Amino acid sequence: MKIIACIKQVPDSEAKIKAEGGQVSWGESPLVINPFDEYAVEGALQQKEAQGGTVTALCIGPESAKEALKHALAMGADDAILISDAALTALDTQGAARVLAAAINKIGGVDMVVFGRQTLDDGSGITAAQTARVLGWPMLGLAGQIKVDAGSVEVSRVIEEGRQNVKAKLPAVISVVQSIGEPRYPSFMGIRKASKAEIPIWSLNDIGLSAPAQIVSRVELITPPSRDVTCEIITGESPAEIAEVLADKILAEKVL
């Protein structure tokens, strides 16, 4: 089975994000593989172990995003491809889906594409579905379990109402949730392989695409105003007395 794990590089979850000159800034914080995408790599590796085959990690991003791909390699992915192009600066989810789909078609013979449920930065959670749409493949979202059997795939979707089992013919696009299993640690063998890996970079030209038009764009980016909260503890002899003081204060503050 030929499996693709789509990953993204995002600022670390502990980064302090703010708007600076209309741009997102995360200061000195490191960039890491999107935590949800570690589950995608895990899910892809589980299928490789169950069915045989290969896992290729695929990422759109600047040169620095190779680090995220190396993490996937260290976890056990067989190879990695970075799609990087100066023309890809303003990319919305639909644009990303077109780029990923073109790359997946170029790779060829792919049976399954696995995504994390969403990214930690933009967090729209729709790139997987849009990629499926561009490819014309079925989309099985929020999978907590994946089972492949003779050319078809059955997943158990983790949804608000409970579990829902759905089945589709391969090739298919799947997004996974945490119940797929804790992402494995990189192995030392994987680390050695990843640190030496020469990761190919594909440009838009390589995948035969011109820069997709941006359909969704940010109108404005602002840092949320900091909340200035003061806390006052009201004390009193009895609950009734405390309630009375509280009611007076609420009225004085014109909250009611």
Partner 1 sequence: MDFSLSPEHQMAQKMVRDFAQKEIGPVIKEYDRRQEPIPFALKRMGELGILGLCFPVRYGGQGMDYLALGLACEELEAVDTSLRVAMSVHTGLCSMNLFQWGTEEQKQKFLIPLAKGEKIGCGAFTEPGMGSDVAAMRTSAKRDGDFYILNGEKMWISLASKADLVLVTVKTNPSARKPSDGLSTFIVDLNTPGVTRGDIHGKLGVRAGATGWINFQDVKVPAANRLGEEGEGFKITMSGFDHGRYTVASGATGIIRACLEASVKYAKTRQTFGKPIAEYQLIQEKIAKMAQEYEIARLLYYQVGWMKNQGKRCTRETSYAKKFATEASFSAANEAIQIHGAYGYSDEYDVERYLRNARGAMIYEGSSEIQTLIQAGYALGERSDKPLRCELPAYDEKVWQS
Is there binding between residue 192 and partner 1 (CB under 8 A)?
A: yes
E strand or H helix at 128:
helix 127-135
> Smallest distance from the beta carbon of 73 to partner 1, in angstroms?
10
> Could you tell me the smallest distance in angstroms from the CB atom of residue 191 to partner 1?
4
Q: Is 187 in the site for partner 1 (CB under 8 A)?
A: yes
- Contact between 194 and partner 1 (CB under 8 A)? yes
Helix (H, G, I), strand (E, B) or coil at 73: helix
Q: Is 188 in the site for partner 1 (CB under 8 A)?
A: yes
Nearer to partner 1 among residue 70 and residue 117 (C-beta): 70
CB of 196 to partner 1, least distance (A): 8
Q: Is the peptide bond before 171 cis (omega within 30 degrees of 0)?
A: yes
CB 1, min distance to partner 1, A: 26
Asked if 129 and 157 count as a contact pair (C-beta separation under 8 A), the reply is no
Burial class (CB in 10 A: 0-12, 13-18, 19+), 255: exposed
**Full DSSP string of 235-249:** --SSHHHHHHHHHHH
* Interface region with partner 1, contact rule CB under 8 A, candidates 19-27, 67-75, 117-125, 235-243: 67-75
DSSP readout, 73-90? Answer: HHHT-SEEEEE--TT-SS
Q: From the list 129, 191, 201, 242, which residue makes contact with partner 1 (rule: CB under 8 A)?
A: 191
